Amino acid sequence: MFDAFFVQQLVNGFSVGLVYALIAIGFTLIFGVLNVVNFAHGEVYMVGAYAGVVLITAWAPPLIAVVLFVMAVGAVAGFGLERLAFKPFRRFQDEASLKSKAMREATLLSSLAVSIIVREVVEKVFGGAMRPVPFESQLTDPVQIGELSFSTGQFVIFGAAVAMFAGLQFLLYRTRIGLSIRAVANNPLGAKYVGIDTDRTIIATFVVGSVMGAVAGILVALYYGSVFPTMGFAPGVKAFVAMVMGGLSSIPGAVICAIFLGLAEAVATEFLAQGWSEMIAYGFLLLTLIFFPTGLFGGARDRV
Amino acid sequence: MTHLLEIRDLRVTMGPQPILQGVSLDVPAGGIVTVLGSNGVGKTTLMRAISGVYKVGGGEIRLDGTPITNRTTHDIVRLGVCQAPEGRQIFSSMTVLENLRLGAGPRGGREYEQDLERMLGLFPRLRERLSQKAGSLSGGEQQMLCVGRALMGRPRLLLMDEPSLGLAPKLVRQIFDLVATIRETGTAILLVEQNAKAALRVADQAYVMESGRIVLQGPATELAEDPRIRAAYLGGHVH
Ligand SMILES: Nc1ncnc2c1ncn2[C@@H]1O[C@H](COP(=O)(O)OP(=O)(O)O)[C@@H](O)[C@H]1O
Ligand SMILES: [Mg+2]
């Protein structure tokens, strides 16, 4: 059973898991601070991918320039998204509004609405079909190591995942803004009392999370070789599942679960028909919600 | 004469419901003023309005004569008004040291180190627990942390919202001793309490609130003798 083919499947599953992890990191960061799911995160990922591909198609600059450009686009997208879909719902302070389900749902729906609008606009502008990445820029060059074959994209994605995870840990635990982000995630009211500008901190969180989402988008696009308007949906769902499995607001937990999910899907294709492996994520989601409502790693309720 | 804090005809409304209906009070620089009143009369609402957490619907709050009504909380903290709020609102999943660090705001370097040393001198229990999660502290220690965190902001005015709530009698005494110690450093204190007896002992001035209004005010020693106070707050039921 542990033949080269199976190991190759694991390698590919690991890469897919890293893709989920890249998205899950920003997703979980934003959830940790606002305690609200940002349904538009998959669209930020998609917009990052399109922005990068448009730039590549026009000028074919080096990869690093593409990534920097996409980071800037992600930052603007995160800022805009927060102002548009989240800020308006934070002005209420009476208990009735704060506790009301309608308010929570309104915030959920507003990010969903933004995501739908963005997807539709991209579809109108660029068309609904898959749009190939110029071949020279694709990260699909094969790299043979023994019996296993890798592609350059897998290494880039691995490097990016490590860099983003480490960078975020550095930001959260070694910088002033990171301290503020963790404080707002832990206790938003307490954060106000120590003089933190919570609005600015929330914007910073969206910017950081969206920069990560956008960079994930372009890297994955270069790895798979194409972009399409709904490309954010499936990985967004997987990242969501990873976040829930990881305990909702634990970034390390989400990363581990994202990789696990990728591996599980790869193994499942061994035993199940093609379409069925898509059910894996939903199956895990159900099992987690039924048997581990606080995530797989026990009741660790630490935010961010 | 201008006081450090002057509140005039303050009104706060939540949804359709008026909570504060014209509250006026003064806190002199370096003084201790207490606001007494039973549950639900609007004491916390008053404190939150001063800190800019709740929006003020009418009236004025002045600090050193300058209006600060409806400024943001971070502005008000920067102007030297820090609060040890109701429910403590500490960062339970962060360490004790991080909590104190956050209280210091943007101040860093030597100044911060000195403040931290001073705070740990005041709260020796916290020194042993610096790297512990704040949520793992006992109730009394959490209250100390809450006050210590507010003091790290070097307030000119410290707002304390029921600091003795839920503490054992020995700790309650410690808290009120602490209030007296803080005053000696020149920090003015606005103290909200249901423990009227202890509050009146440390305070210079006292105000009594009932359903969103000040109904009685005067020097603490006088109010301590007032029969209405004795009947309502110093008599049988102690909160
Ligand atoms: N955010 C809020 N939304 C709605 N009502 C509130 C809010 N805060 C306080 N209240 C109401 O205002 C009244 C006074 O509350 P509060 O200021 O907490 O009283 P106290 O601190 O004196 O016990 C209570 O009836 C409370 O229900
Ligand atoms: Mg109260």
Which residue is closest to B106 within chain A, CA to CA? A176
Query: A95: which chain B residues are within 8 Å (Cβ-Cβ)?
Result: 14
Q: Which domain holds residue A209?
A: 4-291
What CA–CA distance (Å, rounded) separates A48 from A133?
13
What CA–CA distance (Å, rounded) separates B39 from B87?
14
**Position B201 confidence tier, pLDDT thresholds 50, 70, 90:** very high
Question: B119: burial class by Cβ within 10 Å (0-12, 13-18, 19+)?
Answer: buried
Res A67 pLDDT > 70: yes
Instruction: Pick A194's closest partner by Cβ from B14, B93, B103.
Output: B103
In one letter, which amino acid is B213?
R
Mean pLDDT of A170-190: 95
Question: According to the model, what pLDDT value does residue A299 have?
Answer: 53
From the alpha carbon of B209, which atom of ligand 1 is closest? 22
| A183 has a chain B CB within 8 A of its CB | yes
**Nearest of B39, B35, B31 to residue B10 by alpha carbon:** B35
Q: Is domain B5-80+155-232 given the CATH code 3.40.50.300 in the classification? A: yes
Sign of the torsion angle spanned by Cα atoms A174, A180, A185, A186: positive
Question: According to the model, what pLDDT value does residue B211 have?
Answer: 92
Q: Is A27 part of a structural domain of the chain?
A: yes
Residue B39 vs residues A67, A216, B42, B49, B165: alpha-carbon distances, Å: 57, 52, 8, 17, 12
Query: A191: which chain B residues are within 8 Å (Cβ-Cβ)?
Result: 91, 102
Instruction: Pick B149's closest partner by Cβ from A93, A194, A197.
Output: A194
Res A54 pLDDT > 60: yes
**A290: enclosing H helix or E strand:** helix A279-291
**Quick check: B123 and B144 in contact, CB under 8 A?**
yes
Mean pLDDT of A125-152: 87
State the alpha helices, DSSP H only, in B87-219. 96-103, 109-122, 124-128, 139-151, 169-184, 196-202
Structure token pair of residue B89: 């609102």
Res B58 pLDDT > 60: yes
Res B234 pLDDT > 90: no
Residue B8 per-residue DSSP state: E
**Position B237 confidence tier, pLDDT thresholds 50, 70, 90:** very low
Mean pLDDT of A164-170: 93
What CA–CA distance (Å, rounded) separates B118 from A230?
57
Res B236 pLDDT > 50: no
- Each residue's pLDDT tens digit, A200-248: 999 999 999 999 999 999 999 999 999 999 999 999 999 999 999 888 8
CA of B161 to the centre of ligand 2 (A): 7
**Nearest of A301, A228, A238 to residue A43 by alpha carbon:** A228
**Nearest of A252, A261, A263 to residue A297 by alpha carbon:** A252
Q: Cβ B92–A192 below 8 Å, yes or no? A: no
**Quick check: A82 and A114 in contact, CB under 8 A?**
no
Q: Is A297 part of a structural domain of the chain?
A: no
- Each residue's pLDDT tens digit, B129-186: 999 999 999 999 999 999 999 999 999 999 999 999 989 999 999 999 999 999 999 9
**Quick check: B91 and A301 in contact, CB under 8 A?**
no
Cβ–ligand 1 contact at B143 (below 6 Å): no
Question: According to the model, what pLDDT value does residue B235 have?
Answer: 60
Q: Is A300 part of a structural domain of the chain?
A: no
Most A CBs within 10 Å, among B13, B68, B74, B90, to test the A interface: B74
**Nearest of B90, B7, B78 to residue B42 by alpha carbon:** B7
Res B19 pLDDT > 80: yes
Query: Minimal Cα–Cα distance from B172 to chain A, Å?
Result: 23
CA A225 to chain centre: 19
Query: A301: which chain B residues are within 8 Å (Cβ-Cβ)?
Result: 93
Backbone dihedral region for residue A225 (phi beyond 0: left; psi -120 to 50: alpha; all else: beta): left
The complex scores an ipTM of: 0.94
**Position A95 confidence tier, pLDDT thresholds 50, 70, 90:** confident
Residue nearest ligand 1's atom 18 by CA: B44
What CA–CA distance (Å, rounded) separates B114 from A11?
53
**What is the reported pTM?**
0.91
Residue B187 vs residues A194, B88, B159: alpha-carbon distances, Å: 17, 20, 10
Q: pLDDT averaged over chain A?
A: 89
**Position B239 confidence tier, pLDDT thresholds 50, 70, 90:** very low
Mean pLDDT of A81-96: 84
Cβ–ligand 1 contact at B131 (below 6 Å): no
Tally of domains within chain A: 1
The region of weakest confidence among A12-21, A104-113, B61-70 is A104-113
Residue nearest ligand 1's atom 14 by CA: B42
- Each residue's pLDDT tens digit, B202-228: 999 999 999 999 999 999 999 999 888
The CA angle B213-B218-B221, to the nearest 5 degrees, is 130
Mean pLDDT of A19-27: 91
**Quick check: B190 and B3 in contact, CB under 8 A?**
no
Q: The CATH number of the domain where A77 resides is what?
A: 1.10.3470
**Position A138 confidence tier, pLDDT thresholds 50, 70, 90:** confident
Cβ–ligand 1 contact at B156 (below 6 Å): no
Percent of chain B whose predicted confidence (pLDDT) is above 90: 87
Q: Is A59 part of a structural domain of the chain?
A: yes
Residue nearest ligand 1's atom 24 by CA: B40
Question: According to the model, what pLDDT value does residue A90 have?
Answer: 82
